[in-house]
Amino acid sequence: MAFIPGSPNDDNPLGTLDPDLILGNDGNDTLDGGTGGDFDNDFLYGEQGNDLLLGNNGNDYLDGGNGNDGLRGGNGIDILVAGAGDDGAQGDDGNDFIYGLNGNDRLDGRNNDDYIDGGNNDDFLTGGDGNDTLIGSFGNDSLTGDFGNDSLFGGPGQDAFGFGQLGIVLASAGSSQVRQGLGIDFTILGVDTIYDFTIGEDKIYLGRSFQLSNGRADIAFVANDGEVATSSGKVVYSRGTGNLFFNPNGAESGLGDRGGQFAIVFGAPNLTASDFVTQAEAVNGLVPVLPVSA
């Protein structure tokens, strides 16, 4: 294994074709595990400063340390530990494990089946493609499953749940961040499961296409799944099962070609309209935004 130590300055170490141990030390460093023919498993530690860690190929371990860091796993099954500070971490390809620890972090699994744990503070978690597990842990967290059949655990705090398969992602109120994606041509691409939903604390977010003229969610509540197809709401919650459905047909019979189930609220809590938020509202400084067309 090649050992590449950092200095107190801003360093840009590049890994070798062998497995590397790269330390950033002090300064705002860019640590690169190596590209091209380097498929070995690297260990990158940012330590102090606001660092950028790039795992690239191989099954890598990235630890941001202190500071506001950026981590990208690249190809392979990577472990990303954001550490202290407000960090951003992206798994890329592979079944990755991403941990926020402390700070207000933005964690994105991207491709494949990822495990993402926000840790402490208020975090934004996005699963990306694949069947992902998102855990908010402590703090007021925002969890968006995106594509695939995802499992969402909010944990303690006032958490928000969004659904990428309905073109809904979450951003801070007043933010200009809008992700490229599905636009308003919604397609059911997976069924997410929301665990530990707490009535009065947590919220399920819906985009502006799901709101009525008064700004409230266009959602209907039925006793069981058998009544869903005859409901008029664009979103239908079955209190008997906890299943959530997208109903583009409205009052017409059936859910249409693009409709269907998109989520399960585990335990089938007795949800009401106050548990759902549309783009006309903002709760805890968060609003749902619709992506623009790619």
Which DSSP string do the residues of 15-45 spell out, in sequence order?
--SS-EEEE--SSS-EEE---TT--S--EEE
Q: Which one of 30-44, 90-104, 165-179 scores highest in mean pLDDT? A: 90-104
Our measurement of the distance from residue 238's CA atom to the centroid of its chain's CA atoms, rounded to an integer in Å, reads 25
Banded model confidence at residue 271, pLDDT cuts 50, 70, 90: very high
CB-count burial class (<10 Å; 0-12, 13-18, 19+) for 251: exposed
State yes or no: pLDDT of 80 exceeds 90.
Answer: yes
**Whole-number pLDDT of residue 248:** 82
Our CA angle for 227, 230, 236, nearest 5°, is 65
pLDDT in tens, 216-264: 778 899 999 999 999 988 889 999 999 999 888 877 778 877 788 888 9
Query: How many other C-beta atoms are found inside a 10 Å radius of the C-beta of residue 250?
Result: 11
State yes or no: pLDDT of 187 exceeds 90.
Answer: no
Cα separation, 6 vs 113, whole angstroms: 33
Cα separation, 138 vs 121, whole angstroms: 6
**Whole-number pLDDT of residue 175:** 32
State yes or no: pLDDT of 164 exceeds 80.
Answer: no
3-state secondary structure of 204: strand
CB-count burial class (<10 Å; 0-12, 13-18, 19+) for 2: middle
The percentage of residues in the chain with a pLDDT greater than 90, rounded to a whole number, is 48
- Mean pLDDT for 112-127 is 92
Cα–Cα separations (whole angstroms), residue 68 to 42, 88, 104, 112, 172: 21, 8, 10, 26, 18
pLDDT in tens, 34-45: 875 556 799 999
Strands 97-99 and 79-81: parallel
Banded model confidence at residue 169, pLDDT cuts 50, 70, 90: very low
**Whole-number pLDDT of residue 262:** 85
φ, ψ of residue 208 to 5 degrees: the values are -65, -25
Mean pLDDT, the chain, integer: 82
The percentage of residues in the chain with a pLDDT greater than 70, rounded to a whole number, is 80
